[in-house]
């Protein structure tokens, strides 16, 4: 009897976003060829306003090892925190090579060193030099962004060719003169792209992004005009903006000072890699700035998203440079959706000092590193993909980008959110099954993951307060021993409510239909709903005691 011959399976690759789709930040995309996994970027989400005690959120990494999957490697598109910030957390659980250009690898190494973790798994690769990561062949193609060493990824798989744009723009006059490699992108498009994954952050904005050189010129004008202190807030990893500030300082006869460890680290890494030779001085003791003559310096700070512990917040609160009328504070940044309230709080605090706040829209002091609509359309025209998936944006951004692709004649587009998937198979793309992909908060004090359920509990306590009830019961009889102890946190009505809750516990203790703990829980919830109108977080702690006979 002849054994049946199995038909060969059709090669397929699944694309599964773990972060960055349906939200801005925490960018991380998983490619799967069978059990072999390639992870593109591994970022954090910063400035979590609705999560008390949490200043960053990372992806849940369980999909990387689900059902026997093997992580072949991580490829970085560039060095921003929302693309590399979760790497140390990932490598507490899994081990694999990390590939990237010199700057993102240097920035990643600094994060591993800061956590006291080994970093021999980091490997520098170059533009235009393909390398193998498991079954995936990857080539980095130069694109302009708001940081040097940014790349799009050409990924050749058994199922077809994928182009991941990374974060990009088509800046004709970048600070370092290194424009997007349009010629290589056109060549790739001519050879055929089956699936394009493209940055959607500015899909709702028409026209083209302002050039970084134009922002540098505006900063020079402000520095020359300024008659008092000048503080400029930007992202620590915005190397091009720091170079522009150095030029502004030189033009205005000031010196460039850097406040904060993140800017100090960026300066050292930039010098070591030869990315810039700017003349800047880190500030050790910020309190000494009050003795610095007003017109002698430009102070660069971080904290553009309203982070309460960052250098900009210290300026706003009067903890470092003392602001007064005639001083200027420039927010050379954009506000990430969700951080508007925190940023507005900082702006108001600065305004109360009499200093002037200058933001983009008042003067051209910022430009995005992300392509606007026309540049996104240009990339689609260059590549002419068979299918399109917008990435890196909230739902409205993704939908706008998908409409753009379809209007340009792309045969199909799929809008994914985190946990959705598409499957590339025989040069065609279809929707794949969804997976449960979560997120994990990092406690800002302990620097350790905290379950999202606990974050929700913190939020509820902040919104509604907490009621704790501790009581002792006799282990033998199940009867209440002594008076319960009630503690109210953030709940109105104080002593009067506390006394009523104590009475409710005694009344519940006389019942028999449920266990004592359940009776107390139900009685307290009922009284709180009646008296407070909301539902404070309720904790009932029962201690069973064994009383010795007298």
2 within domain boundaries: no
Q: Residue 39 sits in which domain range?
A: 12-207+368-450
Distance CA 288, CA 329 (A): 19
Q: What is the CATH number of the domain that holds 201?
A: 3.60.15.10
| 260 DSSP 8-state letter | S
Mean predicted lDDT score pLDDT of the chain: 88
Question: Is residue 176 located within the same domain as residue 79?
Answer: yes
Number of domains in the chain: 3
Percent of the chain, pLDDT > 90?
Answer: 53
| Least confident span in 28-37, 174-183, 239-248, 520-529 | 520-529
7 within domain boundaries: no
Percent of the chain, pLDDT > 70?
Answer: 94
Q: Are 424 and 233 in contact (CB under 8 A)?
A: no
Q: What is the pLDDT of residues 353-410, one digit of tens each?
A: 999 999 998 999 999 999 999 999 999 999 999 999 999 999 999 999 999 999 999 9
Question: Is residue 308 located within the same domain as residue 393?
Answer: no
pLDDT at 334 over 80: yes
pLDDT at 142 over 90: yes
Question: Is residue 242 located within the same domain as residue 125?
Answer: no
Over residues 510-526, the mean pLDDT reads: 74
459 within domain boundaries: no
| Least confident span in 311-315, 416-420, 455-459 | 455-459
Question: Is residue 182 located within the same domain as residue 74?
Answer: yes
Q: Are 15 and 31 in contact (CB under 8 A)?
A: yes
pLDDT value of residue 1: 45
Q: Which of 19-23, 151-155, 519-523 is most confident?
A: 151-155
479 within domain boundaries: yes
Over residues 135-139, the mean pLDDT reads: 97
Over residues 154-180, the mean pLDDT reads: 94
Question: Is residue 377 located within the same domain as residue 477?
Answer: no
6 within domain boundaries: no
Alpha helices (H) along 33-158: 81-84, 87-90, 102-114
Q: Which of 318, 335, 359 is the last residue of a domain?
A: 359
Question: Is residue 387 located within the same domain as residue 441?
Answer: yes
Distance CA 91, CA 102 (A): 20
Q: What is the CATH number of the domain that holds 267?
A: 3.40.50.10710
Residue 340, H or E segment: helix 340-352
Q: How confident is the model at residue 7 (pLDDT cuts 50, 70, 90)?
A: very low
Q: Which of 409-418, 447-456, 501-510 is most confident?
A: 409-418
Q: What is the pTM of this model?
A: 0.83
Question: Is residue 58 located within the same domain as residue 133?
Answer: yes
Placement of tokens 């970084």 in the chain: 212
Q: How confident is the model at residue 194 (pLDDT cuts 50, 70, 90)?
A: very high
Residue 520, H or E segment: helix 516-531
Q: Which of 416, 450, 484 is the last residue of a domain?
A: 450
Pairing of strands 466-474, 537-545: parallel
Question: Is residue 191 located within the same domain as residue 141?
Answer: yes
pLDDT value of residue 195: 96
Q: Are 541 and 486 in contact (CB under 8 A)?
A: no
456 within domain boundaries: no
457 within domain boundaries: no
In sequence order, which residues have a C-beta less than 8 Å from that of residue 329 and are 6 or more positions away?
231, 232, 233, 315, 323, 350, 355, 356, 357, 358
Distance CA 502, CA 486 (A): 7
Q: What is the CATH number of the domain that holds 500?
A: 3.10.20.580
Q: Which of 341, 359, 377 is the last residue of a domain?
A: 359
288 within domain boundaries: yes
Q: How confident is the model at residue 345 (pLDDT cuts 50, 70, 90)?
A: very high
pLDDT value of residue 548: 61
């Amino acid at each position: 009897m002849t054994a049946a011959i199995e038909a060969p399976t059709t090669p397929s690759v699944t694309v599964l976003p773990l972060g960055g789709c349906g939200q801005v930040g925490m960018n991380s995309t998983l490619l799967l060829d069978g059990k072999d996994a390639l992870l593109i970027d591994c970022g954090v989400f910063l400035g979590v306003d609705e999560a008390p005690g949490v200043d960053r959120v990372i992806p849940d990494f369980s999909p990387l090892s689900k059902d026997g999957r093997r992580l072949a490697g991580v490829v970085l598109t560039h060095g921003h925190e929302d693309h590399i910030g979760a790497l140390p957390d990932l490598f507490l659980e899994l081990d694999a090579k990390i590939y990237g250009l010199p700057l993102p690898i240097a920035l990643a190494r600094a994060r591993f060193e800061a956590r006291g973790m080994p970093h021999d798994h980091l490997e520098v690769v170059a533009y235009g030099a393909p390398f193998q990561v498991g079954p995936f062949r990857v080539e980095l193609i130069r694109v302009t962004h708001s940081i040097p060493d940014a790349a799009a990824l050409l990924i050749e798989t058994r199922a077809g060719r994928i182009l991941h744009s990374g974060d990009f723009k088509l800046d004709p006059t970048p600070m370092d003169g290194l424009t997007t490699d349009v010629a290589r992108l056109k060549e790739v498009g001519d050879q055929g792209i089956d699936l394009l994954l493209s940055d959607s952050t500015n899909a709702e904005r028409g026209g083209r992004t302002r050039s970084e050189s134009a922002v540098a010129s505006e900063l020079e004008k402000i520095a020359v005009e300024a008659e008092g202190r000048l503080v400029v807030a930007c992202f620590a990893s915005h190397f091009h903006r720091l170079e522009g500030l150095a030029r502004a300082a030189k033009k205005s006869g000031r010196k460039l000072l850097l406040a904060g460890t993140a800017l100090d680290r960026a300066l050292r890494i930039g010098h070591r890699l030869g990315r810039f030779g700017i003349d800047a001085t880190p500030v050790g003791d910020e309190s000494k700035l009050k003795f610095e003559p007003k017109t002698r310096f430009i102070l660069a700070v971080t904290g553009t998203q309203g982070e309460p512990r960052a250098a900009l917040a210290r300026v706003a609160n009067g903890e470092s440079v003392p602001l007064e009328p005639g001083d200027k504070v420039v927010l050379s940044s954009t506000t990430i959706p969700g951080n508007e309230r925190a940023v507005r709080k900082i702006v108001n605090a600065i305004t109360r000092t009499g200093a002037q706040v200058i933001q983009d829209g008042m003067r051209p002091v910022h430009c995005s590193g992300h392509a606007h609509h026309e540049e996104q359309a240009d990339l689609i025209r260059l590549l002419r993909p068979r299918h399109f998936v917008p990435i890196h944006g909230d739902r409205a951004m993704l939908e706008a980008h998908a409409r753009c692709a379809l209007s340009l004649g792309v045969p199909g587009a799929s809008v994914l959110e985190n946990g959705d998937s598409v499957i590339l198979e025989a040069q065609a793309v279809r929707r794949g099954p969804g997976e449960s992909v979560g997120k994990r908060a990092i406690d800002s004090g302990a620097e350790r993951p905290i379950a999202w359920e606990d974050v929700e509990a913190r939020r509820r306590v902040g919104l509604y307060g907490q009621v704790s009830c501790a009581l002792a019961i006799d282990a033998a009889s199940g009867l209440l021993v002594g008076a319960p102890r009630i503690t109210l946190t953030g709940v109105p009505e104080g002593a009067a409510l506390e006394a009523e809750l104590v009475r409710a516990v005694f009344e519940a203790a006389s019942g028999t239909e449920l266990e004592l703990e359940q009776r107390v829980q139900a009685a307290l919830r009922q009284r709180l709903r009646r008296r407070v109108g909301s539902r404070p977080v309720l904790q009932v702690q029962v201690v069973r005691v064994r009383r010795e006979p007298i």
